[in-house]
Every structure is written in C-alpha cells, then in structure tokens.
Amino acid sequence: MLMEPTIEKLREMKLYAMADTCVEQQQAPDVTQMSFDERFGLLVDSEYLSRENRRLSRHLREAKLRITDACVENIDYPAGRKLDKQLVRQLGSCRWIQEHQNVVLTGKTGTGKTYIACALAQQACRKGYHVLYRRLPRLLEEILLARAEGSYVRFLARLARTDLVVLDDWGLVPLQNRDRQDLLEIFEDRYGMHSLVITSQLPPDAWHEYLGDPTLADAILDRVLHNAHRIVLEGPSRRREDSPR
C-alpha cells in the first residue's frame, strides 16, 4: 500500500509529527514486526508529545520568566537555607494554583527568591497554566503606560485572566497613591479566582508600613496573605556561589 497520499493528508490536517513518524516507520527495517496497535500508538504519541512541547514553549514565551532555566527539580536544600523540601514538593503539584492560593517568598537579597518563583512558574507552565512574570517596578510602569494609551481596562483584564502572576521585587520602590489603587484592583480581580507568587526582601509584617495608606493596606494584605504559603529563605547570598538556586 502506498503511504504517500496518507502522509500528505496528515500534513494537510496539520498532523506534522504524526506524518514525520509515519515516514520514519516506513524506513525502519523492523517495522513489519510491530502490530498495527503498536505502530498507531507510536504515531499518536509523537503527535501528542509534539503538541505538548509546542504548548509549553508558547506558555514559557508568554510568561517571560526572568530565569528561563529555573525548575523545581534543581532547587537545592542546604541546611542554612531552612527551605522545607516537603512544602516545595507540594507546591510542585500546582494544586495550590487549582485552589487559587498564593505563595509569598521573603528573604535577604541573593537568597534565591527569584529562582524559586521562576521554578514554580515554570512548573505551572508545564501543567498547562498561563503565567506572567513581572518585577513590580516594571508592572507599575506598564500600568502607567496603559493609562496613557487608553488600554488600562484591557491591561487589567489580561492580568485577571492569567492563571498565575509572579510579582518579583515587592517593596523595592516607593508607591504612589495611584499605585496602591492599581494593586488593589489587580488583587481584587484575582482574589479567589487565580494565584500570585510574590517575592520580597521585606517580611510580611513590614508590608503594611510599605503600602502606607492603612485602609488600602488592610484590603490588599487581606487578599494576598490570608491564603498564602509563606517561605522565608535564610543564609548568605547565593550569588557568590556557582549556582543561583
């Protein structure tokens, strides 16, 4: 039986990986020893894997992670870091995203907060979630630009639809009253609907003072902290070591 018309139809249906595997099977000397079910299973597996890889690549590209190669498997646990391995494994399941919970990572500069945040975000991409990473100063700049361009509502709607938003460097820059209002809008849209990862050098006890306005601070912290997994990283700066994990 000539397979060329079948392979061409597979390509027309955009089943490229299946078509390529079919060609490979035709060229394999031992293909006749395989049953139909085995050959068909390999065709389906190749197409499925190809689509999953494309989906992951697309999600990672959209996420714009600061550390693109961060992953939960490469997080290490030296004693001085006091990082709960069991908790990280639990977070690696991404059930906390399914349950619309948050993660708050705090510690001194260089203790690996961003790496762990990006590793959790990468794991979320692998599980099929849509992710967006932003440093808080950059996010505030983007919001300001969106206001100027008249796309503020559309920008907030995009954030509200994202399964996981990573806010890095919380507390690094002073906030204006407009910034506080914008953050409250973002957190209100996400509360009970989607998840956050926040990294900060400031402990949560200092966030109220950082936010400034007592009323807005109470509203923001209530939406972020009450259902958050808190991780406090200790030890010296890891930027002096070979690995940033």
- State pLDDT tens for residues 10-44: 888 888 787 888 888 878 777 777 788 888 888 88
The answer to whether residue 137 scores a pLDDT higher than 90 is yes
Query: Which pLDDT band, with edges at 50, 70 and 90, does 244 fall under?
Result: very low
Check residue 167 and report its DSSP letter.
Answer: E
pLDDT of residue 20: 82
Phi/psi at 69 (5° precision): -100, 10
pLDDT of residue 226: 87
Among 92-96, 130-134, 224-228, where is mean pLDDT lowest? 224-228
pLDDT of residue 69: 92
Delineate the domains of the chain, giving CATH numbers in brackets.
Answer: 4-62 (no CATH), 64-240 (3.40.50.300)
State how far the Cα of 178 lies from the Cα of 180, in Å rounded to an integer. Answer: 5
The answer to whether residue 245 scores a pLDDT higher than 60 is no
Q: What is the mean pLDDT of the chain?
A: 89
| Residue-by-residue DSSP string for 68-136 | TT--GGG----GGG---HHHHHHHHTTHHHHTT-EEEEEESTTSSHHHHHHHHHHHHHHTT--EEEEEH
Q: Which helix (H) or strand (E) holds 233?
A: strand 228-233
The predicted-structure confidence for 217-235, as pLDDT tens digits, reads as follows 999 999 999 899 999 998 8
Q: What is the pTM of this model?
A: 0.80
